[in-house]
């Protein structure tokens, strides 16, 4: 019989600076159990706004020559003492040696006292047990981006406009402020102004501008043909990429 330490967990809760965070443990294990893949929310990006709860799903794939028995709750840790713990994972075998263990945690921005400093790169810690009593513990088995949800608007005017005249395109880039539970302008960020012709499905970038001190965007172009204008933001580690809905301009 082997004896192992128990990993502390606070299921469904976020531990910030006011709460104790479990002490980090070194990677370890026994036998040939291996973690081969970690996926969070399908693409390793989690965007949380200011009102709606967000379910974060974590999947850890592991292998052992005897097969996988189960897994302990996954720990998610990030900047500024950010911490979540999932519920008990459910493991589904894809072969006699390999299983994917999946669990989730609900994050509610109105309840979990998120700090804006929590946004950034987070890590998944996982403990996997094999059927032959082998096991593996990895403190940073995988990573994902925990991001403040973004919003982007656009307005092109005048509408309609005569060919050759000036079109002014305004908009605003903002992102969730988890501390005030409001959206605030995302300043000094590069944003692409894009255009697609009326009968086309493809947007092309016309120019790149930066959001001002309040997140507002404004630039001008010359009217040439009917089509849609939009702003496009590529995203950062703390804020997801987003495209504004296209605004149609009738050029006469």
> What number of CA atoms fall less than 13 Å from residue 166's CA on the CB side?
5
- The last residue of a domain, from among 82, 117, 148: 148
Is residue 1 very low, low, confident or very high in pLDDT (cuts 50, 70, 90)?
very low
State how beta strands 45-48 and 135-148 pair.
parallel
> Which spans in 66-154 are helix H?
none
pLDDT value at position 26?
61
State percent of the chain over pLDDT 90.
89
Distance CA 35, CA 128 (A): 8
Q: Residue 228's domain spans which residues?
A: 150-249
pLDDT value at position 55?
98
How many domains does one find in the chain?
A: 2
- The last residue of a domain, from among 108, 126, 148: 148
pLDDT value at position 14?
45
Strand locations in 19-97 (E) = 28-30, 34-40, 45-48, 54-63, 68-71, 75-78, 82-85, 90-93
Is residue 146 very low, low, confident or very high in pLDDT (cuts 50, 70, 90)?
very high
The answer to whether 59 touches 142, Cβ cutoff 8 Å, is no
Name the token pair of 193. Answer: 């102004």
- The last residue of a domain, from among 148, 182, 209: 148
Is residue 237 very low, low, confident or very high in pLDDT (cuts 50, 70, 90)?
very high
In a domain, 11, yes or no: no
In a domain, 38, yes or no: yes
Mean pLDDT of the chain: 91
**Burial (CB count <10 Å: 0-12, 13-18, 19+), residue 114:** buried
pLDDT value at position 24?
42
Lowest mean pLDDT among 13-27, 128-142, 166-180, 233-247: 13-27
Closest CA to 146 of 53, 43, 76, 46: 46
**Mean of pLDDT values over 117-138:** 98
Q: Is the pTM of this model over 0.85?
A: yes
Query: Do 144 and 81 share a domain, yes or no?
Result: yes
Distance CA 98, CA 154 (A): 48
CATH code for position 122: 2.60.40.1930
Residue 97 pLDDT > 90, yes or no? yes
CATH code for position 226: 2.60.40.730
Query: Do 164 and 138 share a domain, yes or no?
Result: no
What is the distance between the terminal CA atoms of the chain, rounded to a whole angstrom? 82
> What number of CA atoms fall less than 13 Å from residue 159's CA on the CB side?
12
Residue 15 pLDDT > 80, yes or no? no
Q: What is the pLDDT of residues 104-124, one digit of tens each?
A: 999 999 999 999 999 999 999
The answer to whether 74 touches 124, Cβ cutoff 8 Å, is yes
Query: Do 93 and 200 share a domain, yes or no?
Result: no
Is residue 164 very low, low, confident or very high in pLDDT (cuts 50, 70, 90)?
very high
Distance CA 221, CA 229 (A): 10
Is residue 145 very low, low, confident or very high in pLDDT (cuts 50, 70, 90)?
very high
In a domain, 6, yes or no: no
pLDDT value at position 21?
38
In a domain, 15, yes or no: no
């Amino acid at each position: 019989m082997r004896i192992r330490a128990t990993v502390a967990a606070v299921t469904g809760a976020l531990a910030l600076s006011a709460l104790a965070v479990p002490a980090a443990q070194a990677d370890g294990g026994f036998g040939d159990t291996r973690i081969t893949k970690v996926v969070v929310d399908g693409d390793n990006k989690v965007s949380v706004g200011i009102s709606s709860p967000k379910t974060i799903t974590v999947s850890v794939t592991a292998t052992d020559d005897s097969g996988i028995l189960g897994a302990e709750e996954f720990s998610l840790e990030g900047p500024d003492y950010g911490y979540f713990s999932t519920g008990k994972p459910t493991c589904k075998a894809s072969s006699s040696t390999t299983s994917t263990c999946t669990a989730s945690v609900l994050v509610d921005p109105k309840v979990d006292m998120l700090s804006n400093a929590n946004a950034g790169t987070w890590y998944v810690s996982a403990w996997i047990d094999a059927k032959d009593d082998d096991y593996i513990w990895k403190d940073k088995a995988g990573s994902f981006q925990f991001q403040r949800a973004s919003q982007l608007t656009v307005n092109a005017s005048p509408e309609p406009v005569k060919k050759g005249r000036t079109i002014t395109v305004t908009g605003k880039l903002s992102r969730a402020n988890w501390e005030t539970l409001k959206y605030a302008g995302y300043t000094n960020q590069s944003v692409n102004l894009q255009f697609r012709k009326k009968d086309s499905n493809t947007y092309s970038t016309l120019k790149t501008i930066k959001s001002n001190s309040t997140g507002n965007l404004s630039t001008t172009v010359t009217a040439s043909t009917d089509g849609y204008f939009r702003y496009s933001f590529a995203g950062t580690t703390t804020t997801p990429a987003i495209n504004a809905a296209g605004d149609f301009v009738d050029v006469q």
